[in-house]
Structure 1
């Protein structure tokens, strides 16, 4: 519900908010420019009377002196029935130059305040500020939910590049956006008299006016007592009217001065309402606080970017949305399907199951897991189809399911079957599905079938599960589902380096580029751009081997800015994709797509980085080292078979040691006299590693699951004296794995 509100309200108010943000960002520069150009009195100040005396001869028709929030002094005057305004030196009274408001800034201010539409526009600006505030708060709550609560609000963000950009920018700008929106709403409330006006009645003083001959302004005692640095505005009396007075506004309040005696006739300090208004006005505009204005301007400049990325996210989700037809109401359904999905792919499988059950004569209700209730009076069976998000977390449409389940006190007689979706190369494969089944078992919920899982959206595995379901419900159930694969790109093998033949472990470093004849590639080369889509080392490339529609995934050893797509692949006996890749010759092509993997990469920090891998797991680790242009401390532990046959990336690693991108190289080999494995070397370096981890080091592990488990055991022993374990490091985001 929160996501729908955030998306729909953002789409409806996008144009209004973007115009409000851009115009506000332009106006935020004004206080800085005025401050930088102002001649400020500073500590060497003079009195208002002395300054006015210096101006008397130069500006006989002076009507008003005004001091701006930036410190500039402006004199307004009439000369030969022509009005004018000059900037003046606050010490000498000398003219600096003519003053005039920028027509462009006046236009932008009107655009910001009312969209150039007067009262209707002011209402629109108020609505836009209110929507901006709602979007900021709803976005903050969604981010907190995504990261596991407010305590983890600064955790690294996972997701696609567009999602990470949207959330990261929003996280940075949130305080500035809240301040801009709330202060803008307050000022709108004052404008529309929703909050009582801060203005107060003028004090009575007319009976005190002397009415005598006006004295020279530099002799007026009340003005002599006020410093120019305290002045806001001095309004002169009307000429030839001896009963008129000087009106002076200072930082403390407003007063009136007799032009004959120089006596302060009345002074009214600012009421608390006016003090509050002026403080909020300063916070909103930056007038008098130019540095805050610039910060708020930078914050509002993120709004167009977040609008664009938000529309991209909404459109991608809309494109992948699935429509469920013939959806029976919960109270009448004999079969219920609940779906947990982050990117909508699981909904496609749910739709296939829903339609097949409908054809078999069942009344089916399909909804998200967040809509779960204990109110399905006619239901005879329950299916839960769920993906897993990130490191074992609930996907977006299932975030409240376990909480709702826990509130149920009476378990219904409703058999359930849980089906998990995931990718076996990730350590948290179908973890949330396991958590759901464990929670159901703890509630003594009857099982229709034990937990099953689908790897990489396999249509064959889904069809097999459908056959098992059909047998249980005594109906023939044929589940034919064709998942929507990502758009693939054609890549040409540009270079290959072969290792490991002598130790019966053929391994190749394969480097791909866009085909030379590709028109897009030619245009990109002409424009000096990379020919490849955006990706980072540690992301995944899905490769479709010939005669197969099921992608295999490999960790990337390069970033798109390197100009190549690089993977490290070992040939496995009978391996369909690895055999296909090892048979490639330079010039051959493949079909592939990028799968972001933001959960496996170093986060920005000056702390040391420990890279641990074995075999082809060195691929992304080399990519991290290659892009360590800032020379952060990086320590590599890697295990191979034989240094003469499969020391992967040996020349590159030696060059990285020389140019300080790699701090320390620890390579061990299992088919030598030492017969050493990577976990053995880690145990030998226990003291050094404990010190690195105590300094905040982050650890990235890539390779086989058995190796990763052995490394985890050793590291638990090493850091036990620190009072932490690997699970603690994982919770802190300092221990990341890409294992298979």
Structure 2
């Protein structure tokens, strides 16, 4: 529900929010300009002295106004000709026009009413309401994504539109909430839904009837400092019964023109004070710095609008059109999907197609639609659930867990739960695991044990499908083929071969960086921007299924570099290891922000084995700031597969690499694995971590498990664990 509240007001009213935010940002500049351009009033200057100076310049003076910025304006009649000006309080002389300049008037009308009078004011109010809903619901969603309010500024991962959207939102949300709430209040006052004005102060019936008293002799004006003045209206010329009307920050009253006495006074009511405070908070009038801050935060709205639309569109595009989807009441197999970005729907479509081919009737729907009474013929439930952020509920699963827990009894048909996630995230498949716990607690019979898919692995999905087929007594081959991404042709520049002596062919492949258009550079598409640790997808000839390799270079290096090991029967690795300079490969870029070296002066501990050294080498290459970096590198034989041997020596000489710890598993004098070398350096590693060091691990899963176990033992005396470091973003993995 929270995502629905957040998504649709933003999508439907994106253009309106875009216009009101930009016009509001422009208007936020004017209070500061007024404050800068306004001549300062002398300390202790009274309204009487100001009025005398202004009247000396303009004898037909009718009114003096002081704006919250301190700017003083006067209005007068010269004969029958009206006039107005901004004056210098020190002299009473004109320094500028009192009329708003056309640009300010244009932006004000656009912001308040879209040039549509009352209809436009209602539209602007609707925009303010939408912005308030977006800000409040967005705050809840940010807290969910980051793992709670205490982790509001936690490091973000995932596709760049979502990261940028969240980064801006968590900075701007307080200002947008304030601006939208105050705008709604002001709209309510405009349409008399709220009325803060007290009963009008009546002019006193008894006046002196005298005229001609000097302004500087009037006690009420002499006792009022200019710093408190809002407005002074003069009595009509020749009318002895008329009075001065004085308005200040404290209230309003009437002053006898013949005696200078204050005849009646009314303090500002609490409602008026509240209304004026809200006006100040919204416009910045009287608080120019606040206005600038709110205007700056409002500039985030166009970016939020664009990134929000991109997030919605990516999710919509990733969700396939389901063909031959049986009605829920008729289906033997019910497939329920919990997805954030839409990719899990592709797996659901592949599963449904294979089950239909095996003779099943299948209904596929979101977890949000779950209601046991709908599935009258269901023989089994299959739940495919991704995890949003750090263990939160994905978009198409809102409310499912609560409905499941509220059921008096579990559905009679058994269930199989499959989680989708990325092992480099601390909350890997946490939502799916929570579903499995809730299902077991409810007594829902399992069709299969809980299982997971890492990084949308088609191989993992095929393995799970075979287990499902065995449980159903049918042949089930799930050949999932995601929609192939748009690719770019890369030309190989050079290659360096390793591993022949240990019968494990490996190569460092360096491709030419393809040219990027201006649009690609502006939007970050193609290969315009990338970092070591991002992923290069290679689409082999004769297959629509890409293979991902961690990049050992960034765009600033001027080339694209990966490390490839040839696997027995591996289609992609086989083609790449046979590639010669001048030949090409089809490739695409996939961001992997969760495995970027963070900008910091804290030590960096890099741990990898074999081809896992690729992105780690990229981090070292880019270490121009000479941050302390310690590399633990596992190889088989230093004479055969010591990847980047010469480069690592050069980087150490240049100060980019502080220390290299080599683990050799097939040496004549004995074997060592990288986790064993890590244990040998345990005290030094623990001390570096206590000083804020960050850990990055890249390589095979078995190696990563061994490293995790070693670090568990190393950190135990310090009261730390790898899980605690992962939760703080100080321990990240790129494991395959």
- Regarding TM over 0.5, the answer is yes
Q: Distance in 2 between matches of 1:139 and 1:705?
A: 36
1:367 and 2:365 aligned:
yes
1:81 and 2:87 aligned:
no
- The farther-off stretch of 60-69 and 395-404 is 395-404
2:344–2:386 contact (8 Å) kept in structure 1: yes
Q: Distance in 1 between matches of 2:484 and 2:361?
A: 30
After superposition, the Cα gap between the structure-2 partners of 1:659 and 1:122, relative to the gap in structure 1 and judged at 3 Å, is: farther
Please list the CA deviations of residues 485-527 of structure 1 after superposition, one character each: whole Å capped at 9, or x if unmatched. Answer: 2222211112333445455554332222356xxxx65889999
Q: Which residue of the partner structure matches residue 714 of structure 1? A: 710
- Count of residue pairs the alignment pairs up: 732
1:281 and 2:279 aligned:
yes
2:526–2:588 contact (8 Å) kept in structure 1: no
Q: Which residue of the partner structure matches residue 701 of structure 1? A: 697
1:31–1:293 contact (8 Å) kept in structure 2: yes
Q: Which residue of the partner structure matches residue 586 of structure 2? A: 591
Q: Which residue of the partner structure matches residue 293 of structure 1? A: 291
2:146–2:390 contact (8 Å) kept in structure 1: no
Q: Distance in 1 between matches of 2:619 and 2:463?
A: 40
Q: Distance in 1 between matches of 2:408 and 2:716?
A: 41
1:250 and 2:248 aligned:
yes
1:524–1:531 contact (8 Å) kept in structure 2: no
1:149 and 2:148 aligned:
yes
Q: Which residue of the partner structure matches residue 100 of structure 1? A: 99
1:530–1:563 contact (8 Å) kept in structure 2: no
Q: Which residue of the partner structure matches residue 616 of structure 2? A: 621
1:62 and 2:52 aligned:
no
Q: Which residue of the partner structure matches residue 118 of structure 1? A: 117
Please list the CA deviations of residues 170-207 of structure 1 after superposition, one character each: whole Å capped at 9, or x if unmatched. Answer: 11111111000000000001111111232431144231
Q: Gaps spanning 5+ residues in structure 1: where?
A: none
**1:541 positional shift:** 1.5
Q: Which residue of the partner structure matches residue 47 of structure 2? A: 48
1:665 and 2:659 aligned:
yes
After superposition, the Cα gap between the structure-2 partners of 1:739 and 1:255, relative to the gap in structure 1 and judged at 3 Å, is: same
Q: Which residue of the partner structure matches residue 732 of structure 1? A: 728
After superposition, the Cα gap between the structure-2 partners of 1:615 and 1:192, relative to the gap in structure 1 and judged at 3 Å, is: same
**1:18 positional shift:** 1.0
Q: Distance in 1 between matches of 2:269 and 2:351?
A: 69
1:642–1:672 contact (8 Å) kept in structure 2: no
Please list the CA deviations of residues 244-283 of structure 1 after superposition, one character each: whole Å capped at 9, or x if unmatched. Answer: 2221211211122111111111221110000000000000
Q: Distance in 1 between matches of 2:425 and 2:265?
A: 74
Q: Gaps spanning 5+ residues in structure 2: where?
A: none
After superposition, the Cα gap between the structure-2 partners of 1:718 and 1:403, relative to the gap in structure 1 and judged at 3 Å, is: farther
Q: How does 1:572-611 map to 2 (within 5 A)?
A: 572-603=567-598, 607-611=602-606
- The farther-off stretch of 386-395 and 711-720 is 386-395
Please list the CA deviations of residues 132-187 of structure 1 after superposition, one character each: whole Å capped at 9, or x if unmatched. Answer: 11122222222323333333332222221111111211111111110000000000
**1:289 positional shift:** 0.6
Q: Which residue of the partner structure matches residue 109 of structure 1? A: 108
> How big is the alpha-carbon RMSD for the aligned residues of Structure 1 and Structure 2?
3.4
- The farther-off stretch of 492-501 and 444-453 is 444-453
Q: Which residue of the partner structure matches residue 557 of structure 1? A: 552
**1:114 positional shift:** 0.6
After superposition, the Cα gap between the structure-2 partners of 1:463 and 1:668, relative to the gap in structure 1 and judged at 3 Å, is: closer
TM-score of the superposition, structure 1-length normalised?
0.89
Q: Distance in 2 between matches of 1:348 and 1:142?
A: 25
| Secondary structure of 2:254's aligned partner | strand
After superposition, the Cα gap between the structure-2 partners of 1:422 and 1:46, relative to the gap in structure 1 and judged at 3 Å, is: closer
After superposition, the Cα gap between the structure-2 partners of 1:455 and 1:481, relative to the gap in structure 1 and judged at 3 Å, is: same
Q: Which residue of the partner structure matches residue 27 of structure 2? A: 27
2:538–2:546 contact (8 Å) kept in structure 1: yes
1:642–1:669 contact (8 Å) kept in structure 2: no
Please list the CA deviations of residues 429-483 of structure 1 after superposition, one character each: whole Å capped at 9, or x if unmatched. Answer: 8676566556545554334445566677677876786676566556777867543
2:424–2:733 contact (8 Å) kept in structure 1: no
Q: Which residue of the partner structure matches residue 318 of structure 1? A: 316
Q: Which residue of the partner structure matches residue 15 of structure 1? A: 15
After superposition, the Cα gap between the structure-2 partners of 1:604 and 1:67, relative to the gap in structure 1 and judged at 3 Å, is: farther
Please list the CA deviations of residues 525-546 of structure 1 after superposition, one character each: whole Å capped at 9, or x if unmatched. Answer: 999x997243332121121223
1:458–1:550 contact (8 Å) kept in structure 2: no
- The farther-off stretch of 377-386 and 90-99 is 90-99
**1:329 positional shift:** 4.9
Q: Which residue of the partner structure matches residue 679 of structure 2? A: 683
1:346–1:386 contact (8 Å) kept in structure 2: yes
Q: Distance in 1 between matches of 2:671 and 2:355?
A: 57
**1:359 positional shift:** 6.7
